[in-house]
Copies of this chain bind each other. A is one copy, B any other.
Amino acid sequence: MRICFTLKVRTNMLAEYKLRHAAVWPEMLEALRSAGWHNYSLFLAPNGLLVGYLEADNFDAACARIKDHPVNARWQAEMTPFFEQITVGGADDNLMPLEEVFHID
């Protein structure tokens, strides 16, 4: 199962967002792996558009597992201020999943 989602990073915080993601906490990486987030990338456009791509056996289950990790709550609390348009919850509550309309291996 391939998942793509978008978020919007505040344009005045792009440089800091990149710095943070070049040094994600090892325990957060381990939490993602153990929650079943595979081949997970984040891509950033100059206008702040952030695109996430990952593969998971079951995305809902992978999301539920990461939300159960205490480290995720700490990570998301640090990340939420980077994003526009978040009024309720954290970034992980506000992902906009896109529909896959084409795929070839």
Contact = CB atoms under 8 A, between A and B. Distances in A.
Count of this chain's copies in the oligomeric assembly: 2
Q: How large is the interface on A (under 10, 10 to 19, 20 to 34, 35 or more residues)?
A: 20 to 34
B18 A98 contact: no
22 contacts: A2-B41, A4-B43, A4-B53, A6-B49, A6-B51, A17-B101, A21-B102, A22-B101, A33-B104, A40-B103, A40-B104, A41-B100, A41-B103, A42-B101, A43-B98, A43-B100, A44-B99, A44-B101, A45-B99, A49-B49, A51-B51, A53-B53
Contacts of A98: 43-45, 49, 51
A104 B2 contact: no
Interface of A: 2, 4, 6, 17-18, 21-22, 24, 29, 32-33, 37-45, 49, 51, 53, 96, 98-105
A92 to B, nearest CB: 14
